[in-house]
């Protein structure tokens, strides 16, 4: 089992697990406890990009390093990652300037 920890080093990649919850898709980052939701897959991935970019900008505005103080996601989401079913391809990832490697996968929520 993966244990969620505080972010204590620079990340060079980030993973996001996407799952359905009711009428919405939820996208949850694993290395950072950042998430968003939308009614379809394309929209949830686009919103996740925007949310991550906004979190980065807010940290910088406060005079912090990008994502400073944001912990990893709770263990539940890491366990969903282990049960992922489909890797999601992404055409455009605006946050690539922060994370050279971004990986997203679809899972069924437990």
Name the residue ranges covered by the structural domains of the chain.
Answer: 13-106
Summarised one tens digit per residue, pLDDT across range 66-105 is: 889 999 999 999 999 999 988 886 544 455 556 666 778 8
Cβ(94)–Cβ(14) under 8 Å? no
| Count, residues in the chain | 110
Which class would CATH give 13-106?
alpha beta
Left, alpha or beta for 93 (phi > 0: left; psi -120 to 50: alpha)?
Answer: beta
Judging by beta carbons within 10 Å of its beta carbon (0-12, 13-18, 19+), is residue 85 exposed, middle or buried? exposed
- What pLDDT does 99 receive? 64
Summarised one tens digit per residue, pLDDT across range 23-55 is: 999 999 999 999 999 999 989 988 998 898 899
Whole-angstrom distance, CA of residue 20 vs CA of residue 37: 9
């Amino acid at each position: 089992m993966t244990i969620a920890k505080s972010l204590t080093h620079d990340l060079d990649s980030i993973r996001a697990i996407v799952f359905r919850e009711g009428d919405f898709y939820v996208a949850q980052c694993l290395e950072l406890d950042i998430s968003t939701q939308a009614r379809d897959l394309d929209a949830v991935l686009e919103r996740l990009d925007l949310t991550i970019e906004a979190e980065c900008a807010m940290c910088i505005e406060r005079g912090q390093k990008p994502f400073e103080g944001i912990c990893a996601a709770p263990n539940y989401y890491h366990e969903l990652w282990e049960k992922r079913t489909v890797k999601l391809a992404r055409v455009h990832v605006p946050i690539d300037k922060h994370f050279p490697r971004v990986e997203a996968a679809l899972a069924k929520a437990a």
